């Protein structure tokens, strides 16, 4: 089975050789998204909540390129630079996903260049 790849003009371009979105059959994998704004070279948007919103906006745009939405998401992996942002992430997660939340993993990691959050998703579409 061949894979299809997708990208979105509103999401940041990949920083290396990988596809922003890959679909194989009903599975859709969206690569980790960071809070950079396309066309801006001065780094991520300021503040955790603003960064997290930008990340989820990019994820939603990329899901949309493959005909999916947040209701198709099975799994979210979230990478936080600071443990104290966990509560704020929970609030935004509830906003984005509503009552039926996907599975989730959240870990604390070192993120470079002022990044406070990164996230990726796995979705099922057309099944």
pLDDT in tens, 68-104: 999 999 999 999 999 999 999 999 999 999 988 999 9
What are the residue ranges spanned by the domains of the chain?
Answer: 4-124
Q: What confidence tens digit (pLDDT) does each residue in 53-72 have?
A: 999 999 999 999 889 999 99
Evaluate whether 70 touches 63 at the Cβ level (below 8 Å): yes
The more confidently predicted of residues 35 and 122 is 122
Q: Residue 12: its pLDDT value, please?
A: 64
**Cβ pair 5, 19 in contact under 8 A:** yes
DSSP secondary structure code for residue 115 in this structure:
-
CATH architecture of 4-124: 2-Layer Sandwich (3.30)
Tokens read off for 49 = 């909540």
Residues 6+ apart with CB under 8 A from 18: 31
What are 23-38's pLDDT values in tens digits? 999 999 999 999 887 6
Q: Read off the pLDDT of each residue in 106-116 and give the average, rounded to a whole number.
A: 94
What's the pTM value of the predicted model, to 2 decimals?
Answer: 0.87
For residue 117, count other CB atoms closer than 10 A to its CB: 27
> What does the block give as tokens for 109?
């990691």
* CA distance linking residue 127 with residue 120, whole number of Å: 21
């Amino acid at each position: 089975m061949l894979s299809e790849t997708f990208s979105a003009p509103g999401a940041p371009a990949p920083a290396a050789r990988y596809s922003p979105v890959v679909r194989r059959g009903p599975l859709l994998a969206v690569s980790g998204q960071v809070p950079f704004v396309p066309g801006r070279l001065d780094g991520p948007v300021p503040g955790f909540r603003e960064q997290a919103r930008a990340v989820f906006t990019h994820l939603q745009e990329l899901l949309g390129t493959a005909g999916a939405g947040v209701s198709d998401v099975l799994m979210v992996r979230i990478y936080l630079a600071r443990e104290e942002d966990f509560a704020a992430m929970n609030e935004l997660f509830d906003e984005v996903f509503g009552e039926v939340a996907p599975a989730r993993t959240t870990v604390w990691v070192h993120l470079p260049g002022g990044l406070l959050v990164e996230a990726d998703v796995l979705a099922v579409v057309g099944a």
